[in-house]
């Protein structure tokens, strides 16, 4: 779905987190970023993915990653999601679709015979220099951290 490729400079995004604070890719200069796009707070697949990242958060931190999730849900929805599942990372509210469009992850989807527009679950692993090292299309929600760490190991 996305036109971005591994090796491309990651688009510099700017959005509001769950507290209304502006967060930008430039805030993470010199760090590795797990930028993951997901369809909707509190849904089964999105909850499984967020909880997998939460449960393995220390392993990601040890490899130098910060985790940032993005959906088109509101700041308030993100705050409830974080509180309910004790998520230790930032979630950006992209209600105006700027970030999902920058990364090319919003578009036509099909589910149970219905066609609609929504977020295609996608993760971008961005290196310390702001370059996309890996793109994980259709991540395994229950084993997402393992996918990320395997890709990191292959890069070493």
Active site residue 51: no
Catalytic pick among 46, 60, 105, 148: 46
Question: Cα–Cα distance between 130 and 110 in angstroms, integer?
Answer: 32
Output the six-digit token pair for 103: 């990364």
Q: Are 12 and 26 in contact (CB under 8 A)?
A: yes
Per DSSP, which regions of the chain are E strands? 14-17, 22-24, 32-37, 65-71, 90-93, 106-111, 114-119, 122-126, 132-137
Question: Cα–Cα distance between 98 and 111 in angstroms, integer?
Answer: 24
- Tell me which residues are annotated as active site: 46
């Amino acid at each position: 779905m996305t036109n971005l490729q591994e090796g491309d400079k990651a688009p510099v995004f700017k959005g509001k987190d769950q507290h209304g604070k502006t967060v930008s890719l430039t805030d993470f200069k010199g760090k590795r970023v797990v930028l993951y796009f997901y369809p909707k707070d509190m849904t089964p697949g999105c909850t499984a993915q967020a909880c997998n990242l939460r449960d393995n958060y220390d392993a990601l931190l040890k490899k130098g990653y910060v985790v940032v999730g993005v959906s088109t849900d509101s700041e308030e929805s993100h705050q409830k999601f974080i509180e309910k599942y004790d998520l230790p990372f930032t979630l950006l509210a992209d209600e105006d679709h700027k970030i999902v469009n920058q990364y090319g992850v919003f578009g036509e989807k099909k589910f149970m015979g219905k066609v609609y527009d929504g977020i295609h679950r996608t993760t971008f692993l961005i290196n310390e220099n702001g370059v996309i090292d890996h793109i994980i299309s259709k991540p395994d929600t229950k084993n997402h951290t393992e996918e990320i760490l395997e890709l990191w190991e292959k890069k070493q």
